[in-house]
Structure 1
Amino acid sequence: MTQPIVIAGSGLAGYNLAREFRKLDRDTPLMILSRDAAGFYSKPMLSNALSANKTAESLIMKSADKMAGEVLATIRPQVEIASVDRANRIVVLTSGERIAYRDLVLAIGADPIRLPIAGDGAADILSVNDLDDFARFAARLDGAKRVVVLGAGLIGCEFANDLLARGISPVVIDIAAWPLGRLLPEAAATWFRQQLEAAGVTFRMNTSATTVVRNGSAYRVTLDDGSVLDADLVLSAVGLRPRTALAHAAGLAVNRGIRVDRLLATSDAHIHALGDCAEVEGLVLPFVMPIMHQARALAATLAGKPTAIVYPAMPVVVKTPACPTVVCPPAANAEGSWHIAPAANGEAGVEAQFLAPDGALLGFTLLGAATARKQALTTQAPAALA
């Protein structure tokens, strides 16, 4: 009997891999192991679910049973892998059950980074990284008027914008000098900040939270500049750390993420990784488009046609309706400079292009009306991984 391909993880990475594989191979057994109920939902929708009047339940597009029928797989919800016996190609669950595999795919995602914050309220700080997290977060918003958001990156800004739909005044805190500090040049970030502040978001930049203490049913947040903020809720959105512990314990190569080659294979040829947990040639890209490209390439490889991953230019749409934003940052080691211009035809917006010394476009960011230029600039931008 052919052993199954076992996919650890039922998020966008795991399910999209299963879908792509079934387009190529209808016969090889598939098994999907999930730490949660294994319903299919789009994780990126969590950060704008409030304005869309979505609940945790309504975000689920298909149940585990429906997904099992769609991808012709055995789906095991509410299970967790304790270890991997690479020599015998067996995953061992925390229950002690042993499951043999032909190939194992780690699509296990990432964990929210937790800041070292003191105070008796620090343990109450919420983060939203999956559907269960969102359910807890939404339940705590009843009656809330003021929420402190730790982190002015992409997810922090998206949640801050989304909270406005509930009549909540978010205060966003970050040690960076401007919001979206890793994605926007200062001039563009200044315009972005002005639009969100006009909509009701408050930013406290160049500072961090040191202490969160309970204040009745609310919280008091002390910043490193000595100022104090009162909040009904504190949400942490300071970033994600790929889940590498299982791979490390199995003796696989890890760095920031689980290290894989262009075939998405780990240091064990029968174990692959994709999604938020995977590091491809130094790149960890926790976005939808890289996952889709990974899923198609790995599906072909697992179906018998080795296919190296290639990333085209992949602009990211930031879900901040108060300031529509598209980012396509240059490579970390790119040589060049930002060139800033207002949106065309006198419309409200900013276009920033990162140009090489020879004038070649290496990255861009578009705000407001300038987002209409997304497709035009994408065709000029270089591949993220050729």
Structure 2
Amino acid sequence: MHPIVIIGSGMAGYAVARELRKLNPEQELIMICADDAYNYAKPTLSNALVANKAPEQIALGDAAKMSAQLNMQIINNSWVKSIDASSHSLSYEKDAQLNTLNYSKLVLAVGANPIRLAIAGDGSDDIHVVNNLNHYKAFRKQLEARSDKRVVILGAGLIGCEFANDLQNTGAQVTVVDLAPQPLGRLLPAHVADQFQTNLEETGIQFVLGTTVEKVSRIDNGDYLVNLANGQTLVSDVVLSAIGLQPEINLAKAAGIHTSRGILTNTGLETNLADIFAVGDCAEVNGTLLPYVMPIMQQARALAKTLNGEQTAVHYPAMPVAVKTPAAPLTVLPAPIDVEIQWETEELDDGMIARAIDADGVLRGFVLLGATAAKQRLTLTKQVPDLIPASV
């Protein structure tokens, strides 16, 4: 019997391995990954400064520790070059050698890549993205080497706003630039976004919205001149891009696996090819991409059962997302994108509750801004229908 092989050592890959080990301590398991296979929670990167965590303290275990803990062979610093579904095999490159590995079942936990804008200027190659621990180490190294700590962040989405709050709380001067007219444009209705923005601005964060970065140039003393499309210029010590992620689909596509925005799966997390599954940020489950911690954990539990011989569909209950912006505590449960909704808003002394109501009067999502509103999280979550119901 060939091993179960997991490609990817992010949260999804390790979660599947951990859940499978709870059910089956003996099944041969191999993880292959392009990085060093350190185990850590990526969401901790955007508030590590406030948490006073040095990059070295973020990792929970290296490859050797995780291999022993999970009774799993880890082949790190290796690139999977191709998958041959007909022969249940894959080829990977390690130390400039090409190797072949057979699998009984294959799990694609290959994650997502940062979207990079085409930006002119000799400083554009110095723009940081933070999508893994090594990225974060490079970002922190440059930040800590600079005395002024002026940071320009491209992108006012969830990650951009979390980093802005984290940096501002630790003495940096932060400017957030986004083409959208409001922060968290995909998650918040305009009236909530306005208040959220005001709360962050009160900490000193500056927003420049409705425009984008055209050019980043190196100037004196290691500074950068950032030219915006609206004619404005900013001087920065560090530039961070946080404009979103694109699921990694190239390997799957080349193998004949169906893809759209992500790797397409059914609720069993099965692709169109036998014995190949996808989980995590790369997986588009029943047409839905949910690159958040709770959906990944739901996927991992369901897939572990399937890999262990008990065919199991993933169940998505209503799963609110807590945005790590202490200056403006925010919990969001986005309504499904294909549902027409109306917003009903309740003003509170320290924030608001905005309910997304569909045509039948059913609560389909909500936004909780402020500490008082956050207390309604459990009550409201119970009222929202499951996104993918539990199988009967």
Please confirm whether the aligned pair reaches a TM-score higher than 0.5, indicating the same fold: yes
Please tell me the residue identity of whatever aligns with 1:330.
A
In the alignment, which residue of structure 2 is the partner of 1:65? 64
Stretch deviating more after TM superposition (84-93 or 230-239): 84-93
In the alignment, which residue of structure 1 is the partner of 2:50? 51
Cα offset for 1:268? 0.7
Which of 164, 168, 172 is residue 168 of structure 1 equivalent to? 172
**3-state SS in 1 of match to 2:322:** strand
Which of 337, 352, 356 is residue 354 of structure 1 equivalent to? 356
**3-state SS in 2 of match to 1:246:** helix
Determine the C-alpha separation between the residues in 2 that align with 1:296 and 1:124.
39
In the alignment, which residue of structure 2 is the partner of 1:243? 248
Residue 232 of structure 2 corresponds to residue 227 of structure 1: yes
- Does structure 2 retain, via aligned residues, the 8 Å contact 1:149–1:234? yes
Q: Structure 1: give runs of 5+ residues left out of the alignment.
A: none
CA root-mean-square deviation: 1.0
**3-state SS in 2 of match to 1:259:** strand
Cα offset for 1:67? 1.5
Which of 276, 295, 301 is residue 300 of structure 2 equivalent to? 295
In the alignment, which residue of structure 1 is the partner of 2:376? 373
Which of 152, 157, 162 is residue 158 of structure 1 equivalent to? 162
Which digits, 9 at most, give the CA deviation of each residue in 1:137-159, with x for residues without a partner? 00010224211000000000000
Determine the C-alpha separation between the residues in 2 that align with 1:244 and 1:360.
35
Determine the C-alpha separation between the residues in 2 that align with 1:185 and 1:259.
29
Which digits, 9 at most, give the CA deviation of each residue in 1:176-202, with x for residues without a partner? 111001001111111101110001110
Which of 201, 207, 230 is residue 203 of structure 1 equivalent to? 207
Determine the C-alpha separation between the residues in 2 that align with 1:81 and 1:309.
27
In the alignment, which residue of structure 2 is the partner of 1:214? 218
Cα offset for 1:28? 1.5
Please tell me the residue identity of whatever aligns with 1:17.
V
Please tell me the residue identity of whatever aligns with 1:277.
C
Determine the C-alpha separation between the residues in 2 that align with 1:20 and 1:53.
30
Please tell me the residue identity of whatever aligns with 2:162.
E
- Does structure 1 retain, via aligned residues, the 8 Å contact 2:213–2:228? yes
Cα offset for 1:18? 0.6
- TM-score, normalising length: structure 2: 0.96
**3-state SS in 2 of match to 1:375:** helix
**3-state SS in 2 of match to 1:171:** strand
Residue 15 of structure 2 corresponds to residue 12 of structure 1: no
Corresponding pairs, count: 382
Please tell me the residue identity of whatever aligns with 1:292.
M
Stretch deviating more after TM superposition (293-302 or 24-33): 24-33
Cα offset for 1:358? 3.0
Stretch deviating more after TM superposition (20-29 or 39-48): 20-29
Cα offset for 1:336? 1.9
Which digits, 9 at most, give the CA deviation of each residue in 1:317-339, with x for residues without a partner? 00001111000010001112111
In the alignment, which residue of structure 1 is the partner of 2:83? 84
Cα offset for 1:70? 2.0
In the alignment, which residue of structure 2 is the partner of 1:147? 151
Determine the C-alpha separation between the residues in 2 that align with 1:91 and 1:55.
37
- Does structure 2 retain, via aligned residues, the 8 Å contact 1:153–1:180? yes
Which digits, 9 at most, give the CA deviation of each residue in 1:55-82, with x for residues without a partner? 2210011222221122211111211101
In the alignment, which residue of structure 2 is the partner of 1:30? 29
Which digits, 9 at most, give the CA deviation of each residue in 1:29-48, with x for residues without a partner? 00011211112110110110
Determine the C-alpha separation between the residues in 2 that align with 1:353 and 1:166.
33
Residue 331 of structure 2 corresponds to residue 326 of structure 1: yes
- Does structure 2 retain, via aligned residues, the 8 Å contact 1:195–1:323? yes
Please tell me the residue identity of whatever aligns with 2:304.
A
Q: Structure 2: give runs of 5+ residues left out of the alignment.
A: none
- TM-score, normalising length: structure 1: 0.97
Determine the C-alpha separation between the residues in 2 that align with 1:74 and 1:120.
43
- Does structure 2 retain, via aligned residues, the 8 Å contact 1:191–1:350? no
Stretch deviating more after TM superposition (61-70 or 199-208): 61-70
**3-state SS in 2 of match to 1:96:** strand
Stretch deviating more after TM superposition (272-281 or 79-88): 79-88
**3-state SS in 2 of match to 1:199:** coil
Determine the C-alpha separation between the residues in 1 that align with 2:332 and 2:364.
12
Cα offset for 1:279? 0.6
Cα offset for 1:227? 0.9
**3-state SS in 2 of match to 1:323:** coil
- Does structure 2 retain, via aligned residues, the 8 Å contact 1:187–1:340? no
Stretch deviating more after TM superposition (235-244 or 54-63): 54-63
- Does structure 2 retain, via aligned residues, the 8 Å contact 1:140–1:233? yes
Please tell me the residue identity of whatever aligns with 2:259.
V
In the alignment, which residue of structure 1 is the partner of 2:272? 267
> Pairwise mapping of residues 54-133 of structure 1 onto structure 2 (< 5 A)?
54-94=53-93, 95-133=97-135
